[in-house]
Structure 1
Amino acid sequence: MANQNPNQTSAGTNVQKVRQQNAQSQGGAGQFGTEFASETNAQEVRRQNQQSQANKGQGNS
């Protein structure tokens, strides 16, 4: 039984609808990621990482 509608899969999924939802989802994910990136102080994270490495070295000696 061949599928006659090119915008639907054999399971009945509307391909155009899925593409639209994916595009909307990616747009939202970008905004979400940007929100968190703007709250991150990269220099502070680097300092904390260096401190953590220094503490590891002290514990092993």
Structure 2
Amino acid sequence: MDEYQTLITKFELLRHELNLLNESYPLESQEVITKSQELDRLHNEIEAYKKNRHTKRVSSSN
């Protein structure tokens, strides 16, 4: 599994965990907020990875 797919798998797992937490806790609970922040950080990491990968492809084609 490549790095991108690993990040996506982690993202899906965290999203599932957040959905489960949301069934037991209100949205404003610290548990839900913390998990949501983890998901946000991972989303940012995925976007940075995609941008970096795109930049490498563009620079190597020049």
Give TM-score, length-normalised by structure 1. Answer: 0.47
Q: Identify, as 1 or 2, the structure richer in helix.
A: 2
Give TM-score, length-normalised by structure 2. Answer: 0.46
Q: 1 or 2 for the larger relative contact order (CA 8 Å, sep ≥6)? A: 2
